Amino acid sequence: MKAKSKEKIIKQKFSLQLMWKQRYLLMMSVPFVIWLIVFKYVPLWGWTMAFQEVKPKTFAQPVWERKFVGFDNFIKAFSDRLFGQTMINTIGLSILGIALGTIMAILFALMLNEICFNRFKKVTQTISYLPHFVSWVVIASIAKMALNDGGMIDTLFGRNLNLMSTNSPLFWVVVCLINIWKEMGWDAIVYLSAMAGIDQGLYEAAKVDGATRLQRIWHITLPGIKPTVVVLLIMSIGSALNVGMERQMLLSNAIVQDHAMVLSWFAYVRGIGTSNYGLGTAIGMFQSLVGILLLFLANKIAGWLGESKLI
């Protein structure tokens, strides 16, 4: 018992010393912590609306004066005729987006990492992540001009492919490919940073042993960035249900509406669209709680498999 107490005191002393050494870094983080509390945690008080009847006429009332309806808003959301298809769309888009987005970002990062001509590498990387800063309004306009009936793609292939007018899961693929084009360069930055941290001596030793470039990638680069990939995948799974509403609204049309509706858009339509803020809050609350559950589940599975954990 004494040995354990002594060890505990040593750990606490070491932690305090480390905090004192990093006091300036901790002070720099204070504004961001305050921002996080004010804009991310304080608004959670609004979740109380999920258990109340909140209409425009009752919105200005204090919380304790609004009508309490229990889980009625959740029951209405789950029994809605659009809820089932909305969940299918959200999950389908999330799985495709995470899988294709991760694979393409890693492949692009590997390609850039293997380029020896630094000027070309920097120019390519800069061009690749510029779409990340472009509004979805602009991206959707470009995509529609290229993919709509009679657009650039149809002209190129000499036939109507109907890529933006197909009322099927093919619409998910089109949306995911557009999102990959927009975000691939930006996502690759993290993997490039991880590759830069790999010991270059390993590559030199592999060259001496006669390993080819592909063998060096497979046995050195990919294992070197594996912890980063796992952590980013865990974070992506945690936000699996938070599929962006703006891209769905801008890229969809009346024909593909059934396969374009996602949870965030569903919350907007049923909440603000019908002036039932309690129902919209209930849908958003469900979305957040499922995301938290998926985050902890993915983190736990990664721990069981012996991979890097987020928490």
- Could you list the pLDDT tens digit for every one of the 311 residues in the chain? 455 566 666 667 677 788 888 888 889 999 999 999 999 888 888 888 899 888 877 777 777 788 888 899 999 999 999 899 999 999 999 999 999 999 999 999 999 998 888 888 889 988 998 999 999 999 988 888 888 766 777 777 766 767 777 777 888 888 899 999 999 999 999 999 999 889 889 999 999 988 899 999 999 999 999 989 988 888 888 888 888 788 888 888 888 888 888 999 999 988 888 888 889 999 999 998 888 888 888 888 877 777 666 66
0.85 cut: is pTM over it?
no
Tally of domains in the chain: 2
β-strand partners of 68 = 52
- Residue 248 is given by DSSP the state H
Phi and psi of 53, rounded to 5°?
-90, 105
**Alpha-carbon distance 163 to 153, whole Å?**
9
Q: Is residue 76 part of a domain?
A: no
Q: Say if 309 falls within a structural domain.
A: no
Last residue of a domain, one of 70, 93, 125: 70
**What are the structure tokens assigned to 194, written together?**
């991880």
- Of 70, 101, 122, the position where a domain reaches its end is 70
Q: Please check whether residues 40 and 92 belong to one and the same domain.
A: no
CATH code, 234: 1.10.3720.10
Indicate if 36 and 89 belong to the same structural domain: no
- Rounded distance, CA 165 to CA 154, Å? 13
Q: Is residue 282 part of a domain?
A: yes
Q: Report the distance separating Cα 130 and Cα 140, nearest Å.
A: 16
Which of 30, 51, 70 lies at the terminal end of a domain, its last residue?
A: 70
Residues 6+ apart with CB under 8 A from 246: 136
Q: Is 53 in the same domain as 161?
A: no
Euclidean distance between CA atoms 199 and 188, whole angstroms: 19
CB 168, CB 218: distance < 8 Å: no
> Does 50 share its domain with 196?
no
Other CB atoms within 10 Å distance of the CB of residue 209: 9
Residues 176 and 56 in one domain: no
Residue 206 lies in a domain: yes
Q: Which two tokens stand for residue 98?
A: 């995470």
In a domain, 311, yes or no: no
Residue-number span of the structural domain to which 167 is assigned: 81-304
DSSP 3-state of 39: helix
Spatial separation of the C-alpha atoms in residues 127 and 13, rounded to whole Å:
49
In angstroms, rounded to a whole number, what is the distance separating the alpha carbons of residues 93 and 35? 31
Q: Are 60 and 46 in contact (CB under 8 A)?
A: no
Considering the domain architecture, whether residues 15 and 106 belong to the same structural domain is answered as no
Statement to judge: residues 141 and 63 lie in one domain: no
Same domain, 120 and 210: yes
Same domain, 251 and 202: yes
Note whether 102 and 62 are same-domain residues: no
Do 59 and 94 lie in one domain? The reply is: no
My answer on whether 102 and 206 are in the same domain is yes
Give domain status of residue 56, yes or no. yes
Q: Work out the burial of residue 30: count CB atoms within 10 Å of its CB; fewer than 13 is exposed, 13-18 middle, 19 or more buried.
A: exposed
Tokens of 40: 């991310």
